[in-house]
Every structure is written in C-alpha cells, then in structure tokens.
Amino acid sequence: MGEILLPLLISCPLAASLVIFASAGRMGAGGIGTVACAGVGISAILGIVLSIMLLSGHVTGMVQVTLWPWLHVAGFSADIAFTLDRVSLIMTLVVTIVGLLIHIYATAYMRDDPGIARFFGSMTLFVAAMLVLVLASDLLCLFVGWEGVGLCSYLLIGFWYDDPANTAAARKAFYMTRMGDVALLCGLLLLATATGSLHIQSVLAAVADGQVAPSGVSMAALFILTGALAKSAQIPFQTWLPDAMAGPTPTSALIHAATMVTAGIYLIARLHGLFAMAVPVMALMAVLGALTLLMGACTALVQSDLKRILAWSTISQLGYMFLALGCGAWQAALFHLMTHACFKALLFLTAGAVIMRARHEQDIFRLGGLRHAMPGLTAAFVAGASALAGLPLVTAGFYSKEMILSGVWPVHFRLPHGWGLSGHALWGIALLGAFLTALYIFRCVFIVFCGKAGTATTDRTSRLMTVPLGCLSVLSLCGGVIEMPDTFPSLHLFSAFLDPTAIPSHANGSAWPVLAGAAAPLAGLGVAWVLWGRPSPVMREIPGQAAIIRPVRTGQGTDALYDYLFVQPFRLLAWLTRLDILDHAISGTGRLTRAGSARIFMARTSFLNMLASWATCMIRWADRLLGQFQNGRVRWYAAWIAGGLCAGLALVVLS
C-alpha cells in the first residue's frame, strides 16, 4: 500500500502544476486556486495516512519504492527512488500541511492578479520539487529536487517582472544559490567516486565502515556544507534572502517557512552520519550558525520594512538550526525547523494581510494603532511573535529553542593541533540571540499594532485568509509540547518518534540553563516594552541616519563588499574578454617582436658592413706601407738590417 501512496504523494502537486500551466489562463481564478489546493491537499492527506501507517506498525521501518533505474555505468549506479522514513516523514508533513495552508491563503490574496495561473503553477511545482528533494533515497535524485526548488524560487521571486528591482532580486537569488549548487555537486562527485553509489544509505554505510579516507570525508562534507549554506542563506551567502521579499507574500511564506531555505537543514540532518566523521567541518558549521543568528538578529533590529524584518528573522532562526546541526543535535534542528515553519508562515501571512489592508504600506513607522482596526490580525501576529521570541511555556518556539540550547551547552570540539572550541561560548551567543529576537520582534509588534494610528485601513480580511491564520496560530502556540526539557515532566514524543530505541538527553542535569533560556526572551520583551511599548516610549526609532546604520538597514554594506571583491573583478575580466584585449596584447607583442627583430637585423648588417669596410681600408693601408718598404733599393734594405741588428743588440745589453 505504501509503495503506491508514496509516488502519488509527489505526483499530485506535480499534476496540478501541469494542469494549471496547460490551461494557459483559460480557467478562472477560483478554478485555478481549487486545482492547486486540491493537488497539495491530497498530498497532505496521503502524508497523514502514511504517518498513521508508520506509527501503527502497518509499515515496518520505512517505505521504499524504485520507479526506474536512471544510470548504470561501470562502477556507478543511480535510480529514481524514494524513501519515506521518520526523518523524511516530518519534512513531508511540514511541506504539505503548511504548504496547503499557504495555498488556501493565496487563493484569496492573489484572486485579482492577472498572472494567477503562472503563480499557482509555480507554487505547486515548488511543492512537488521540495517533495522530490525530501523523499529521494538517492543523492542524485535529491539534486534534481534541489535544482527544482531553485528554479521555482527564481520564477516566484521575480513574479512581478514589470519592476526591474524584482527581476534583479530573482537573478540575485538564482546566482547566489547556484554557487552553492556547484559546491554541492562537487561534494556528490567526491562521494560517488569514493563509494561507487549515491544512494544515501550506501554512502553512510561506506563512510561508517571507513571505505572513504578521512580527507575525502572532510572535503565532501565541506562542499555539501557550502551548498547548504547558500540554499539556507547563511554567512556568507545571506544577502539574497531579504531581497526575495520582492515576490508575493505567499511566496515569501513558502520560501521562508516550509520549503527552500529548510532544504539545507534537511540535507545535513539526513547526512548527519557523514558530518559526524568530519569534526572540523562540524565546528565550522556551529560557528557560522552562531555568527549568522547574531548577525541576523542585529540586522532585524534596525530594519523599518515589515517583511524585511521577518526575512532577517528567518536568517537568524536558520542560524540556530545550523548551530544545532554543528553541535550534533540534529533532532533539535529538525524540531526547530518544524516549529519555525508554523510561526514564520503565520508571521508572513499575517504581515501580508496587514499590508494589504494598509494600502500596501510596509514601513512600520507609517503604521500604528492597528490593534483597533485589526484585532484578529493583531492576535495572530502576537501569537507568531511570541513563538518566534520563544516566550516560555506558552509557545512552541520555547521548547524547540530550549532543545537547541540544551544540546549546545555540553559540546566541546577537539580540533587538530591542540585547538578546541567549547559549547559554552556558542551557548552564550545563542542566549544573546534569544534576547535580541524578542527585542526586535516585539519592537515590531509595539510600533505596528500599538500607539497612535498611522495609515488608514481598508475593509475586512477574507475568510479564506483567516482560516489558515487560525490554524497556524494554534500550531505556533501548542505545537511544541511534544518535546519537553529534561527539567520538566518527562515527555519526549518528538525524540522518541525519530529514534524509538533511545531517548537522548538534552540537558546537563541542571535547571539553570533552562531558566536562563526562559529569562532571555522575557528580558527582551521587557526592554522592548520600555523602549517602544509604553504610552510615552523612550524612542520611536533606533537612529538610522548614521552612516554606519544605513548600509546595514538597506543591506547594501555586504552587497558593496561583494561587489568590490567579486563582481568588479569579474566584470573587468569580461570587459577584457569582450574587447579581445588579450588578443590585441598578443598581436601587439608579435608586432613589436617582429619590428625589434628587423631593427636588430639592420643594426647587425650595418655593423658587419662597417667592420668589412674598416678591414679593407686597413689592408690597403698596410699594403701601401709594405710597398714603401719593398722599393728595390739595396741601401734601404741594408739600412733596415743594420737598424734591426742594433736594436737587437741594445735589447740584449739592456736585459
């Protein structure tokens, strides 16, 4: 039964996409939305059915299906095959359920857009490509889905292509992620060369058995990490994600919550056995995750655009997941991925509804007092903000962040040459990030929904938009109680689901780290209320006119640095190539060489002619001189003989 349902899980959104594209806009907006929601909805139902079968024991371990062989050459094979196990099941449920709620929301949000067929065709294709990525049992098949989500993100970010800024943002996302894709492909080629297969289980088994040299494991892990960093917008590839806000709000929610940016997290969690053998790469991953979460939180704190605040928040939360993966707590990373998908989709969809009713105004300082005009949207946004901040006990984000913090604290990396890295420092950065997260998101809440009224608002929010917001609000608040910290009553349903044979311990036995993790977001909330929440706030805006703040706010600082280091040298090389400067230089060198050779030849010829002329003159002069001596007069000959004899005698006497 599972072997039949698994291909259908992927085929339904793919078929919906083909139907929508084939209709070429001949269907109405309602029909297009229905087809798209039906395709994703059937996949969600099939995912739930398969999860019930897996949990009830009707399916033992995993569901595997091979559709057809792809490549079979000497020493290497690859198949179009899919596997549903406990790890991929979590991602499948996240992609299909959250994706379905986003599609339902989008039917109302995009109903008046003339390009609705193109939009929903790309959205359903996006879901299908993500399911291929998640369910692939072969890394080469996974790479197909990996490239598919990259293509769909390009189409959706540049959906409103009439604006050059949107197409520029789409190209930027495409180029940045392609650099990571090249690195990922290099890593896959290394593994294929070393193991003769890209089947995930075979690769992990070969690495565990020592069939791959440690240097090969480290290089492959580093290449794969680079691909994951680019796809998930981590340092130094973070610049494309804020500009991805150029697409429609449902696109932003789908990219940031359930699909593309989580692909890198899933890939590393899927290959955690490979990365566990490369400790330096794990340490690098943890450090980059810690730096990214701190940088994203600080940057979000100075933003004024509502959607860009949420975009930088996504970068920061993905940094938490990479920190957990680098510390070996891949279960915690997947748990935070699941809760993050719920509350980040809720925040983006709520922000889209707010922006729509506020006449497309996105500047938080031009909004204000919206809690009176939009009480329902205010409640939904506060629920999502509380989950993002990780307010203790009442939000899902608290439990997933506590699982990450508990997994980071006891880690210690033993690096080559006697170097080491303690998890305590990384834990401190993560705790500071939790404080900053609460500070910037409740800054946004207090400025947008409290205080004096700003932009005038329009009519009520569509019911099709409010239903997904209600469902996501419940998941954002209650979805984390399936995994409790060890200091709480023992409840580890998520860990037990991932590994039924063992329940890992996430704490060091002390309660104070959990208390610190609970106090940090509360402190951030308190500071945000003092600064922006009171009737007479201390400040309305963090000073943004300073030269050091403005590049951070607009995101142009990193772009300018990359432009100076990479883009301009490449443009210079392209300019030299286009103008054939190199060819002209070679030709000019040849001409100069030929001219120099001719000049040297002429100088040599003149010098030799001059030497010959001088030799002739000398010979003629010597001939005339000898002619004077040989004149036939005997007395001259006798005189010369006598003179020579006297000279010889004088030399003898003097010596």
529 belongs to a structural domain: yes
479-506 tens-digit pLDDT:
888 888 877 767 788 888 887 776 555 4
Give one DSSP letter per residue of 256-285, joined into a string: IIISGGGHHHHHHHHTHHHHTT-HHHHHHH
Q: Which range has the top average pLDDT, 362-371, 466-475, 512-521? A: 466-475
Q: What is the domain extent for residue 601?
A: 581-654
Average pLDDT value for residue range 323-345 = 93
Average pLDDT value for residue range 436-459 = 86
630 belongs to a structural domain: yes
Nearest by Cα to 43 from 118, 108, 95, 2: 95
**461 and 355 fall within a common domain:** yes
Average pLDDT value for residue range 381-390 = 94
**514 and 622 fall within a common domain:** no
pLDDT at 347: 94
H/E run at residue 80: strand 76-84
473 belongs to a structural domain: yes
- For residue 54, pLDDT over 60 is answered with yes
Q: How confident is the model at residue 540 (pLDDT cuts 50, 70, 90)?
A: low
**545 and 585 fall within a common domain:** no
**424 and 465 fall within a common domain:** yes
Identify the three-state secondary structure at position 223.
Answer: helix
What is this structure's pTM?
A: 0.84
- Alpha carbons within 13 angstroms on the beta-carbon side of residue 254 total 33
534 belongs to a structural domain: yes
204-222 tens-digit pLDDT:
999 989 888 999 999 999 9
Beta carbons of 206 and 194 less than 8 angstroms apart: yes
Domain count, the chain: 2
H/E run at residue 126: helix 116-135
**526 and 631 fall within a common domain:** no
364 belongs to a structural domain: yes
Average pLDDT value for residue range 98-103 = 94
Adjacent-strand bridge partners of 72: 77
Adjacent-strand bridge partners of 73: 76
Q: How far is CA 267 from CA 208, 223, 426, in A?
A: 18, 12, 23
Identify the three-state secondary structure at position 530.
Answer: helix
**541 and 633 fall within a common domain:** no
123 belongs to a structural domain: no
**542 and 592 fall within a common domain:** no
- Residue with the larger pLDDT of the pair 521 and 64: 521
Beta carbons of 562 and 239 less than 8 angstroms apart: yes
**355 and 475 fall within a common domain:** yes
pLDDT at 506: 47
390 belongs to a structural domain: yes
Q: How confident is the model at residue 527 (pLDDT cuts 50, 70, 90)?
A: very high
pLDDT at 544: 46
612 belongs to a structural domain: yes
**512 and 616 fall within a common domain:** no
pLDDT at 142: 93
pLDDT at 508: 47
**529 and 593 fall within a common domain:** no
**545 and 404 fall within a common domain:** yes
pLDDT at 451: 75
**466 and 586 fall within a common domain:** no
Average pLDDT value for residue range 422-451 = 91
Identify the three-state secondary structure at position 14.
Answer: helix
